[in-house]
Every structure is written in C-alpha cells, then in structure tokens.
Amino acid sequence: MDQQNEAYLFLLPSMAGVLLFVILPMLASVLLSLGELKLSGAFSWVGIANYREMLNDSVFWQTVRNTAFFMVTIVPLQLAFGLMLALALNQPIRGRVLYRLIYFMPVVTTIVAAAIVFQLLLNRDFGPISEIFWKLGFTPPNFLGDPDWQKPSVVLLTLWKNTGFTMVIYLAALQGVPQELYDAANVDGATAWQRFRNVTVPLISPTTFFLFVLQMIGAFQLFTEAYVMTRGSSGTPAQATMTVVYYIYQNAFSYNRMGKAAAIAWFLFFFIFLFTLIQTRMQRRWVYYEVN
C-alpha cells in the first residue's frame, strides 16, 4: 500500500463520522424543510411553502429583531469588558492569578444553573436585588416580567457567563505583544492612551476579529439563557426574548412543525454564513497581520 492510500485509510474513520453525523443530517434537513413530517412518520412534500410561511410570519420577524438586539448589545459589551479585564489582569499586581481564576469561573459553570440563580437574584418578590430597591424607597423593576427589562436581564446573564472567556483569549494576545514596541513608544514620549491605540490595538486585532466572529455566531444561536430565564416570554404578545433558535425549538417540539423549523434553521445558517463571509472580507481593512 502506497503512502497516499495509507493516509486515506487513516482519514476514513473521521470522514465517515463527518458523513454520518454532519453531511447526511444536513441533506435530510434540506429535504425536511421542503416537506412536512407528521407524528405518524408520514412525509408530505410541500415545496417552498415552509419558506413562504416563514417570511410571512410576524413572530419570526420579531425573533429576528430580538436576536439582532442581543447581537448588537452582547457582542460589543463582551469585547469591551473582556479587553478591560485582560488589560487590568495583565499588569504585575499581587494575586492576579487568583483574580483571573475568579473571573473565568463563570465560563465553566452550567448555564442552566446560572440562569436559575439569576432568576432568583432578579425576582421582584423576594430577590435580593429587588430588596435593595425596596430598602432605598424605590419600586424595583420587574426584570423577568416586563418586556422592557427582560432583554437587559438576558444580556446581563450572558455577559456574566462569557466575559471570562473573552478575557482569557485577550490575555494570551496581550502577552504576545513584544515589549520592545512599548519600550520604543516610551522613548518617543507616547502616552498610555497612545501606546494602547497605536501598539496594543493593532497587534491584538487578529484576536479581536476571531472573538468578534465567534461571539456574533454565539449571539445568533442564543437559546438557553432566554429559555430558562423567561421562557422566551412566549406567553406575552411582545415575545420580548424569543430568539430565532428558540423559535426553531418551539416549532419543532411544541407545534410539531418540523418542516418549518428546518426552513428557519436554514435561513439562520445562510445568514450566519453570509455575515461571516462579509466580515472575513472586511477584515483586510482593520486587522493587522505582522509580516516576518
């Protein structure tokens, strides 16, 4: 057996897994989006009716708006807070390893448990945050019942859960910036802001691009936080926290509309793919890659 065939033999288990668990399910979901699957297992062909119904569904467009809100709030805030924490914990301060551990701990906690804890913290009747409002003489907001406060509550939980991951990645990037560049900037009389703007930001821009794309995809796929904390507020006319992924779940497992759920999933796939492609093209304008 020659080396080329031997290489294919070693790749065969991985390729079989990709074919069985990725490619075939994707093809099946395309077929499912063009039909309707009944509880009895009978499949009926409906063509593009599921896509047409999706585009005419007001609840679907509400979920798109909700997802867009989470995307434009969570992503920039998470990048900003993660970078600030990384800058602070990259300084030679006492106990910084312990601080890094503390800030990273939410990342490894279970999101369902964290969401339940936040439910208790933000509960208007007996939550400790509401208790502080009452003691100060103010009426506490209905964080989990008011549509105007439900979205910020989900954003708060998501930031608490994921900012530590952003911090760790930025820490790795900051430690890769050559100290000689900072020394040269100091010799030239650059201020701390000028060093940050002209040295730090360009050299960590590849990391920023990586985190930006990763977190945007995560924002598009937001589900557990809204489901556990507010159940997507699906029982209210506003559907304030129902995301696209939550609506896919609801159509598939609550309404038994597998075809429509598959159609929405493919809409989400193409939107994420298009967005990622655009960002990959635009990175040439602001991402700095060092050429050796």
| Residue recorded with tokens 């063009």 | 34
Cβ atoms of residues 154 and 70 within 8 Å: yes
According to the model, what pLDDT value does residue 240 have?
A: 81
According to the model, what pLDDT value does residue 237 have?
A: 47
Token reading at 162: 């994921």
Give alpha helix (H) positions in the chain.
Answer: 3-18, 24-33, 49-55, 58-89, 96-104, 111-122, 128-135, 147-174, 179-187, 192-195, 201-203, 205-220, 224-230, 244-253, 258-286
Cβ atoms of residues 179 and 141 within 8 Å: no
According to the model, what pLDDT value does residue 234 have?
A: 52
CA distance 180 to 96: 23
Token reading at 3: 């080396």
pTM of the model: 0.86
According to the model, what pLDDT value does residue 80 have?
A: 95
Helix, strand or coil, per DSSP, at residue 20: helix
How far does CA 157 lie from the centroid of its chain?
12
Residues of the chain with pLDDT under 70: 1-4, 39-40, 232-238, 290-292
| CA angle, residues 15, 20, 22, in degrees to nearest 5 | 85
CA distance 156 to 161: 9
According to the model, what pLDDT value does residue 12 have?
A: 86
H/E stretch holding 35 reads: strand 35-37
